[in-house]
Amino acid sequence: MFDEVADPPTGSRATMKDVANVAGVSLKTVSRVINQEPNVNELLVRRVRDAVQQLSYRPNLKARSLRRLDGRSATIGVLLEDLSNPFSATILRAIEEVATARGVSVLGGSLDESPERERRLTASMSSHRVDGIILAPASPSHEFLAPEQVAGTPFVFVDRPPINLDADHVLSDNRDGTARAVERLLGLGHERIGFLGDDEALWTARERYLGYYEALRVRAIEIDDDLVHLNVHSMTAASALVDGMLALDDPPTAIFTGRNILTIGAVRSLRHHGLESRIALIGFDDFPLADLLVPGVSVVAQEVALIGRRAAELLFNRLDGDRSATQRVVVSTHFIPRGSGEISPV
Amino acid sequence: MFDEVADPPTGSRATMKDVANVAGVSLKTVSRVINQEPNVNELLVRRVRDAVQQLSYRPNLKARSLRRLDGRSATIGVLLEDLSNPFSATILRAIEEVATARGVSVLGGSLDESPERERRLTASMSSHRVDGIILAPASPSHEFLAPEQVAGTPFVFVDRPPINLDADHVLSDNRDGTARAVERLLGLGHERIGFLGDDEALWTARERYLGYYEALRVRAIEIDDDLVHLNVHSMTAASALVDGMLALDDPPTAIFTGRNILTIGAVRSLRHHGLESRIALIGFDDFPLADLLVPGVSVVAQEVALIGRRAAELLFNRLDGDRSATQRVVVSTHFIPRGSGEISPV
DNA sequence: CTGAAAGCGCTTACAG
DNA sequence: CTGAAAGCGCTTACAG
């Protein structure tokens, strides 16, 4: 034997017990050093630290959280629509920032608007015993999460409110943001304003439509069914619908699009008809390079990172013991004029 | 007492033992049912299933992985540059897809080009006992990961190769992709081609520069220092440098930009000078709406999702026991002509 | 086909 | 200031 104490074998990890053996102290002393408890002899601290170094020891969080009274795993779950889209990605990053600062890791997942995936992934998070879950929901009802909530897992909803469940949530002011933008178009003299919206099943799509509806109502302008299209899912569908509206006997002089891919579809159609500088356009959601298009595309922008940050703050407040009533946080949108929304009717 | 067996108290979760009590069977029988082991009496299976339902029982993965021989946590770590940028977000999503199909969850983190964050977050992943780690590295050396690797955690690097560590990696053909694009410009008759590149410390930035360098060398065109700028970090810096190049006595007739934000900076400058249809431009990395600009921006596009998928496949192969030699996977880039790269010199 | 005992790597509660 | 024993919620290895 060349080593005084045998190293643990390759392919397996050093445990606290290995560290104790190498340092010549008890398990409990190692635990004290790792957890920075006071009142440990300097010399022993040093010996433990050296052994940790020598063995590349990493405390096992799974074992720790299994035994600890609070059972915390130092992990939260974040389930969003699609981690590859800029909206979800920005929210995830903002949450990560808050979590990392507290030494908490983030388990992420994409729901793709699938209620079934929502059930599966929340169950998975639950099996991982995450300390809390932030969710941009896909289901028509969240009753099924009640047992998790009762078991002590706090939920914070983002982008859309919970249904049949009492939980904190963070939303944009979809309706007001849209109404104010449509009011701007009305203020310029537009009376025929087209509307393209996403899937009616989505709360955000309905809210944005309601903003449009209310703004017209206030001015006593009747809704023209030829100018309103909901359940538009793609850029190409949006282009085709704008093509159709432009072919009407009485075409719109302005268009409001309820989502960025629909906005881009509208831009393509207007360009195709050479009307991008004649017909006003405002979109909900900012998008990269909107300012580099000609004309620049005016938008109702969401504070996406702020939504993520607020959600994380709410969650950690709950984890810190906040038992106050459920909170709804509404994050303001802001209008960004870039040209396309400032075109007057001819 | 109304219930025959007391439910576990609010705020705590049902355990396998609780399920066993409610179902009137032993712990081991519950374990068999949960893990779908064969040879369990139909009646007992049913009773256990009912108890699971009634108690909203979720198996505790932490406890399971603590005891299991393979110690698998059904979790992998994914550390990328910035989860909010489209490149990282697309990779994460592609990995998530492969992982979810295997019932594995993804712990994500952003490194922000910080070696210190890389150390901290890999250590954190290690404490979570992830089964493997996919990493877009930020450090100048990855020696410090050797102990983790020896302890049995496989690593797969993406976007950049490991340094001082033997590990699988997935890269784009940065150098070739750039060289072929620059050759196209040369083919059009361009001889003065500007180059803007990212931080020289980054492997990708160096490779792309080498592609530019080699393409010119083959044609025996000398590199003009006035036309080459490395360590360009922002869109505004790129704009200013293009402004400067355009003011030269002998300005470039074409520009190659080594990263999408630099490309956008270059577009801004060319527009500002009204030269966007006179001076050719090709950028590395595609970006949204590149086709909607006038002229459309020609790019060398990476197969970003494929990079993520390949990395995940490599990792899971290792977890499935593949002990073959370290692999380097090179994913091809492809050129997308949209107009700006097809402009001939005047 | 079913179950009682031991143990994974830690923390807790307690004794000295 | 230090440590030995029990136990977190599971799976393993074994007995019946």
Task: Write out pLDDT tens, residues B201-220.
Answer: 999 999 999 999 999 999 99
Domain of residue A232: give its range.
174-303+335-342
| Residue A317 and residue A265 share a domain | no
What average pLDDT score do residues B260-264 get?
95
Nearest to A248 by CA among A274, A226, A224: A226
pLDDT tens track for B57-87: 999 999 999 998 888 999 999 999 999 999 9
Q: What is the pLDDT of residue B10?
A: 56
Query: B109 and B25, same structural domain?
Result: no
List, for residues A209-251, the tens digit of each pLDDT value: 999 999 999 999 999 999 999 999 999 999 999 999 999 999 9
Do A114 and A156 belong together in one domain? Answer: yes
Which residues from 46-85 of B have any strand D atom under 7 Å from their CB? 57, 59-60, 63-64, 66-69
pLDDT of residue A70: 86
- pLDDT surpassing 80 at residue B3: no
A229 and A197 share one domain? yes
Supply the CATH number for residue A46's domain.
1.10.260.40
Spell out which residues of A between 8 and 47 contact strand C, using CB within 7 Å: 12-13, 15-17, 27-28, 31, 34-35
What average pLDDT does range B78-102 have in this prediction?
97
Neighbours of B1 (CB within 10 A): 5
| B68 lies in some domain | no
Nucleotides of C under 7 A from a protein CB: 1-5, 7-13
User: Same domain for A183 and A285?
Assistant: yes
Instruction: Return mean pLDDT, chain A.
Output: 94
A66 CB-to-strand D distance under 7 Å: yes
pLDDT for the residue B147: 94
- Say whether pLDDT at B7 is over 70: no
DSSP-based three-state secondary structure for A323 = coil
Q: How many helices (H) and strands (E) does chain B have?
A: 12, 12
User: Do the Cβ atoms of A212 and A178 come closer than 8 Å?
Assistant: yes
Pair (B180, B162) in one structural domain? no
Does pLDDT of A28 surpass 90? yes
Residue B320, in any domain of the structure: yes
Is B66 inside any structural domain? no
pLDDT recorded at residue A257: 98
CA distance A1 to chain B (A): 22
Q: Are residues B191 and B295 in the same domain?
A: yes
H-helix segments, chain A = 16-23, 27-34, 42-55, 61-67, 86-101, 115-127, 146-150, 174-187, 203-218, 235-246, 260-272, 304-319
For B108-165, what is each residue's pLDDT tens digit? 999 999 999 999 999 999 999 999 999 999 999 999 999 999 999 999 999 999 999 9
**pLDDT score of A10:** 55
pLDDT at B15: 93
pLDDT at B11: 64
Q: Pairing state of beta strands A228-229 and A254-257?
A: unpaired
Residue A4 in this model has a pLDDT that exceeds 60:
no
Per-residue confidence (pLDDT) for residue B70, from 0 to 100? 86
Q: Mean pLDDT over residues A135-162, rounded? A: 96
pLDDT at B197 over 80: yes
A293 inside 8 A of chain B by CB: yes
Residue A65 lies in a domain: no
A183 and A280 housed in the same domain: yes
- Both tokens of A158, joined, read 């983002």
DSSP 8-state assignment for residue B127:
H
Confidence at residue B8, expressed as pLDDT on a 0 to 100 scale:
42
Chain A residues 88-147 within an 8 A CB cutoff of chain B: 88-90, 92-94, 96, 100, 103, 105-110, 121, 123-129, 147
pLDDT tens, residue by residue, A277-316: 999 999 999 998 999 899 999 999 999 999 999 999 999 9
Task: Give dist(CA A148, CA A218) in Å, integer.
Answer: 44
Question: Please, which pLDDT band fits residue A39 given cuts at 50, 70 and 90?
Answer: confident
- Residues with Cβ within 8 Å of residue A208, at least 6 apart in sequence: A174, A175, A178, A197, A198, A258, A284
**Mean pLDDT calculated for residue range A161-169:** 98
CA of A245 to C1' of C5 (A): 76
pLDDT band at B6 (very low <50, low <70, confident <90, very high): very low
Q: Within a domain: residue A229?
A: yes
Per-residue flag: A54 CB under 7 A of strand C:
no
Q: Is the pLDDT of residue A5 over 50?
A: no
DSSP B297-341: PEEEE--HHHHHHHHHHHHHHHHTT--SPP-EEEEPPEEE--BGG
Q: How far is CA A152 from CA A109, A132, A148, in A?
A: 21, 9, 7
144-183 of A, contacting B, C-beta below 8 A: 147-148, 150-152
A281 belongs to a structural domain: yes
Neighbours of A235 (CB within 10 A): 19
Interchain contact B68–A (C-beta under 8 A)? no
**Shared domain check, A81 and A32:** no
pLDDT per residue over A44-73, tens digit each?
999 999 999 999 999 999 999 999 888 899
Q: Confirm whether B69 is domain-assigned.
A: no
- In this structure, how many other beta carbons lie within 10 angstroms of the beta carbon of residue A37? 11
On chain A, the residues whose CB falls within 8 A of the CB of B318 are none
Count structural domains, chain B: 3
pLDDT tops 70 at residue A84: yes
CATH of the domain at A137: 3.40.50.2300
Task: Tell me how crowded residue A101 is: count the other CB atoms within 10 A of its CB.
Answer: 10
If you measure CA to CA, which chain A residue comes closest to B91?
A84
- Given A59, A83, A101, the domain boundary residue is A59
User: What pLDDT does residue A12 have?
Assistant: 79
Residue B106: its chain A contacts at CB < 8 A? 107-109
Band of pLDDT at residue B187, cut at 50, 70 and 90? very high
Picking from B62, B93, B121, the nearest residue to A110 by CB comes out as B93
Contact list, B338 vs chain A (CB under 8 Å): none
Q: Are residues A180 and A291 in the same domain?
A: yes
Inter-chain residue contact B56 with A152, CB threshold 8 Å: no
A119 inside domain: yes
Nearest to residue B92, comparing CAs of B126, B48, B51, B136? B136
- Answer yes or no: do A185 and A298 share one domain: yes
The answer to whether the CB atoms of A124 and B105 lie below 8 A apart is yes
pLDDT value, residue A129: 95
| pLDDT in the model for residue B5 | 40
The Cβ of residue B69 has, within 10 Å, a number of other Cβ atoms equal to: 5
Contact B147 A56 (CB under 8 A): yes
pLDDT reported for residue A23:
93
A178 and A299 within one domain = yes
Can you read off the two tokens belonging to residue B344? Answer: 């001939």
Q: Region A264-288: what's the mean pLDDT?
A: 96
Is a pLDDT exceeding 70 seen at residue A3? Answer: no
Could you identify the residue written with the tokens 């270059």?
B266
